Amino acid sequence: EPEVTQTPSHQVTQMGQEVILRCVPISNHLYFYWYRQILGQKVEFLVSFYNNEISEKSEIFDDQFSVERPDGSNFTLKIRSTKLEDSAMYFCASSLLGGNTIYFGEGSWLTVV
């Protein structure tokens, strides 16, 4: 069964460093998302991406965050200057169409020290 794949599974970074989290969405999907889950808390929406542009973003997704689809398969989340509070599990997700099932990857654990 097709799946969303994410790398790395776990990354430890120094505060202030840049981090890029990578995702390969399901191949024929058109909508892409990033969510995050701080340990012990609910899953929070960060950003949605469709037709090569951001379609919606949350208040969390401030200027230090950016997303890119550099080629036909990858979808990346960049955090420019990491803060301690960015420590969380980051999930990439995709769906074929808006209003359809959204499939999530296994997540990337980010620990900022």
Compute the least distance from the CB of residue 16 to other proteins, in Å: 26
CB atoms within 10 A of CB 66: 14
CA distance 2 to 7: 16
Considering the complex, state which of residue 8 and residue 98 has its C-beta at the smaller distance from other proteins: 98
- 2 binding other proteins? (CB under 8 A): no
109 — phi, psi (to 5°)? -80, 120
> Binding segment for other proteins among 16-24, 60-68, 75-83, 95-103 (CB under 8 A)?
95-103
Compute the least distance from the CB of residue 52 to other proteins, in Å: 15
